[in-house]
Chains A and B, each alone.
Chain A
Amino acid sequence: MNKTLRISFSLKNTYRVNGILFALKQIPLLRRLLPATLYQVKGLKVFANILSLLWEIVSAFLGKFLYFITMVCGIGILYKELPENTVFLHILLILTVIGSFAKTHLFNPTKDKYYAMILMRMDAQEYTLVNYFYFMLKVVVGFLPFTILFGTDRGVPLWFCLLLPLGIAGMKLFAAAATLWDYEKRGFGYNENKLSKYVWGCIALLLAAAYAPPAFGFVLPSVVSMGIFLVCIPLGMASITRLTAFRDYYAINKELLAGLTDQMDSTAQTKLIKQANEKKISADTSITSRRKGFEYLNELFIKRHKKILWNSTKKISYVCAFLVAAALAGVYLLPEARSVINGIVMTWLPYFVFIMYLINRGTNFTQALFMNCDHSLLTYSFYKRPDFILRLFQIRLREIMKINAVPALVIGIGLALILLATGGTDNPLNYVVLIVSILCMSLFFSIHYLTIYYLLQPYNAGTEVKSGTYQIVLSVTYVVCFALMQVRMPIMIFGVMTIVFCVLYSIAASILVYRFAPKTFRLRT
């Protein structure tokens, strides 16, 4: 038993460490420095083992602490009229019921289970039970300090606080035994990550039962809650015999982990992405084009991908137009809000960088371009001639700019109208800057995504993303846009800065693409 636990631990550690090392090797500069023999280095494994052990200890307590401070006590504070101990027990009891089938460990498909039981053929029953009881131990030990700390603080008697973790564990054990019994009866495997809509319905109802009735002054009397928790202790003990007697752990895990193979096998996963992208191609046979050469290729591409390009940009534009109309109506109905809204429009322009980031179609466009077009055409030499690459880049840039410009215009004009309706501005130039700068933001995103796609072309022939740099650039883009959300600046200053930046960026991007894209726009190998 000890050995099984030790092996499970070292297995988990090994794949965690290798996972981290693999991730490190994806970072452009580090890749050169780190040798291929990295995975052999013993010191790293020891260090990682220590980290894992620490994490094991911290995770046993941290999650429970957060759970108590937010879900149980945090929300519990809202119900001031009711006795604290009753509310505490009411919420904890119902959340425990939810937890007993939403956080089972036994029915959670994890990688370590897959490696141990399916790939390494460890004894399924022993492996499952040893790890399950270890998990239960962590539940009891992890809950104990907090049931005492928060429980006594809410006026729950100490003796009961000491027994509470056992009650919680008991309920989990009982639920697990009941699920196994159900499996034996109906042969139906349960997976806590793929809950049926009925289970989700039950969770919603239970959540409502936990938090809604106290608002109206109804809670389970503490005697009832305490009684149920106490009953769970012998029930849990009885369930242990049931769990240890169960024989079909291999079958259960085989079914549970079946979906995981696809997820972990990167070729299977990329295949799924590829298929998903092929589904985006319109099967409409009436689509044709009268153009020639690259314009022909482009027109067919845009028309056959209408669903993800023009249709979604149209939807976004309608939503934006609707929101603008709603804001205008609000301004009309609530004259006293005018000056506030006017102030917001005048200084919240940086916020719209993030909004433009969210609604631009750049990443969808480049992904579809690769998956359904460049992925195959890049294997033909003719397609890689420098003049052809640049010609197609121009055409594509024009298309994505058009697609992104529509919602940008709606937003820009809408904001200008709102500004006008809320009392306007002393300087009419503000309207112009507002509209132009929002348009510039959309142009920036169009250029940005297409440029990094052409310069970094991150995919290989198997459609896997192979470039760490590409991922980093995407993340930095997100972080910058997100950070700008916090900035408040007058339209004139930020707008002019945006326009200047956009112009400079376009020039720089064009120069880079013209110089480097013929060399960089290749399939990764």
Chain B
Amino acid sequence: MKFVIEHLAKSFEKKEVLRDIDFTFVEGKIYGLLGRNGAGKTTLFNCLNRDLKADSGNFYIEENGLRREVAAEDIGYVLSTPTVPEFLTGREFLKFFMDINEKYIKNPKSIDEYFDYMSIEPEDRDKLLKDYSHGMKNKMQMLINIIAQPNILLLDEPLTSLDVVVAEEMKQLLRSLKQDRITIFSTHIMDLALDLCDEIVLLSHGELEVVEKTDPDSREFKDKIIAALRGEGNE
């Protein structure tokens, strides 16, 4: 499976945020999307998730040489600030989700099995989500996004505000999930991108470009990325 974006562009008034996004993502890899603040990472995700209408260009999924539209259930989108329906308990949210997605969930497990999988404690499972901690909300959001096993998983700076333990758990989880899907992980923390991702993609000046991951630990490599993000060197 491939996820192909062709000439995607988006401007706000006269500001061109995405100028010409032209890229092919391949399954089984975690892509680290690096960009400076305001580079348009969230705008790109919003366009792909159809929260925002792009000005031009399109994107599709290519399977066995056949192209098809990206449907809502193809995409899982995890936001940096986790949002969960405050008036439900964790268990109720999960039940509701599984009820309405019966058709799409392959090999469903029991609700408690899912909670165990995410290390959500038994005493928290029947609390209202409004009383969950930040980390727990994040786990809940991640869980909902991975149960249906979407083909494309978009993560918008998901680890930035988590404590070290939860962050490590999440990293392990993402690594274990990367088979059979495309994971695109946006961040502006370079070390995190280098540690977790198979490919580094830079978003700068409204375009995407791959950085060859030669020797991730070398100073030179990091300098190269910084220079590219600053807009030196490649122009």
Contact = CB atoms under 8 A, between A and B. Distances in A.
Contacts of B92: 296, 300
B176 to A, nearest CB: 21
Contact of A296 (B49, B83, B96, B150): B96
B96 A373 contact: no
B144 A278 contact: no
User: What are the 10 tightest A-B residue pairs by CB atom distance, in nearest-first order?
Assistant: A376-B83, A293-B99, A381-B72, A281-B87, A293-B100, A304-B87, A36-B13, A381-B75, A372-B87, A376-B85
Contacts of A488: none
A522 B75 CA distance: 15
Nearest to A368: B87
B234 to A, nearest CB: 28
A381 B96 CA distance: 14
Interface residues of A, number: 31
Nearest to A283: B128
A294 B51 contact: no
Interface string A367-385: 0000011011101111011
Contacts of B150: 381
Given A36-B13, A281-B130, A376 B86 contact: yes
A264 B100 CA distance: 41
B199 to A, nearest CB: 23
B148 interface: yes
B52 interface: yes
Contacts of B101: 382
B228 interface: no
A388 interface: yes
Contact of A382 (B51, B88, B100, B130): B100
Contact of A294 (B43, B77, B100): B100
Given A283-B128, A293-B100, A296-B96, A380 B86 contact: no
B100 A300 contact: no
Contacts of A428: none
B12 to A, nearest CB: 9
Interface of B: 13-15, 43, 46, 49-52, 72-77, 79, 81, 83-88, 92, 95-97, 99-101, 104, 126, 128, 130, 144-145, 148, 150
Contacts of A376: 83-86
Nearest to B101: A382
B154 to A, nearest CB: 9
Interface in A350-406: 372-373, 375-377, 379-382, 384-385, 388
B72 A525 contact: no
Nearest to B52: A525
A379 B13 contact: no
Contacts of A283: 128
Nearest to B13: A36
A250 interface: no
B79 A379 contact: yes
Nearest to A371: B86
A58 B89 CA distance: 58
Contact of A281 (B76, B97, B99, B128): B128
Interface string A39-69: 0000000000000000000000000000000
Contacts of A373: 85-87
Nearest to B96: A297
B227 to A, nearest CB: 30
Interface in A176-208: none
Give the interface centre of B75, B83, B84, B126 by most chain A CB atoms within 10 Å. B83
Interface in A509-525: 522-523, 525
A254 to B, nearest CB: 31
B49 A300 contact: no
26 contacts: A278-B130, A281-B128, A283-B128, A292-B99, A293-B96, A294-B100, A296-B92, A296-B95, A296-B99, A297-B96, A300-B87, A300-B88, A300-B92, A373-B86, A376-B84, A376-B86, A377-B85, A381-B49, A381-B150, A382-B97, A382-B100, A384-B72, A385-B73, A522-B50, A525-B51, A525-B52
Contacts of A384: 50, 72
Given A300-B88, A461-B83, 8 more contacts: A300-B92, A372-B86, A372-B87, A379-B77, A379-B79, A379-B83, A381-B75, A382-B148
Nearest to B46: A525
Contacts of A379: 77, 79, 83
A300 B91 CA distance: 13
A522 B13 contact: no
A301 interface: yes
Q: Which of B13, B15, B100, B101 has the most CB of A within 10 A?
A: B100
Contact of A36 (B14, B84, B86): B14
A1 to B, nearest CB: 42
A235 to B, nearest CB: 56
Contacts of B126: 285
Contacts of A296: 92, 95-96, 99
A300 B92 CA distance: 9
A105 interface: no
Contacts of A294: 100
Interface string A276-296: 001001010100000011101
A377 B72 CA distance: 13
B125 to A, nearest CB: 13
A372 B85 contact: yes
B87 A380 contact: no
Interface string A241-272: 00000000000000000000000000000000
A305 B87 contact: yes
A396 B76 CA distance: 26
Contacts of B13: 35-36
Contacts of B73: 381-382, 385
A281 B50 CA distance: 31
Interface string A192-227: 000000000000000000000000000000000000
B51 A523 contact: yes
Contacts of A305: 87
A379 B46 CA distance: 10
Nearest to A31: B13
